[in-house]
Amino acid sequence: MARILVDYAAGVRAKETVLLSGTSVAEPLLKELYARVVAKGAYPLLRMSIPELEHIFYTSASDSQLRHVSPIAYYEARHIDAAIYVQSESNTKYLSAVDPKKIAAARQARRRLNDIVHGRVRWTLTLFPTAAYAQDAGMSCAEFERFVAQAMFADRPDPIREWENLAKRQEALARRLNKVRTVRIVGEDTDLSLSVAGRKFISSDGRHNMPSGEVFTGPVENSAEGRIRFTYPVCFSGKEVTDVALTFRRGVVVEATAAANQDFLRTMIGLDPGAKRLGELGIGTNFGIDRFIKNILFDEKIGGTIHLALGNSYPETGGKNKSALHWDMIKDLRRGGEVWVDGKLFQKNGRFISSR
Tell me the CATH architecture of domain 2-128. Answer: 3-Layer(aba) Sandwich (3.40)
Give the Å distances, CA to CA, from 280 to 20, 199, 306, 317, 326: 27, 11, 10, 9, 9
Question: What SS3 state is found at 35?
Answer: helix
Q: What is the mean pLDDT of the chain?
A: 94
Residue-wise pLDDT tens digits, 214-256: 999 999 999 999 999 998 998 887 788 999 999 999 999 999 9
Asked if the model's pLDDT at residue 356 lies above 70, the reply is no
Pairs from 176-181 (Cβ < 8 Å, separation ≥ 24): 176/355, 177/201, 177/215, 177/217, 177/341, 180/341, 180/342, 181/342
**Environment class of residue 50 by beta-carbon count within 10 Å: exposed (0-12), middle (13-18) or buried (19+)?**
exposed
What is the mean pLDDT of the segment spanning 164-181?
94
The 10 Å Cβ neighbour count of residue 118 is 15
Q: The pTM is what?
A: 0.83
For the chain, percent of residues with pLDDT exceeding 70: 99
In the prediction, which pLDDT does 190 show? 97
Domain borders along the chain are 2-128, 169-352
Q: What is the pLDDT of residue 236?
A: 80
DSSP assigned state of 242: B
124 has pLDDT over 80: yes
What is the average pLDDT across 33-41? 98
Which amino acid makes up residue 95?
A: L
Residue 140 has phi, psi (to 5 degrees) of: -75, 165
- For residue 332, is pLDDT > 80? yes
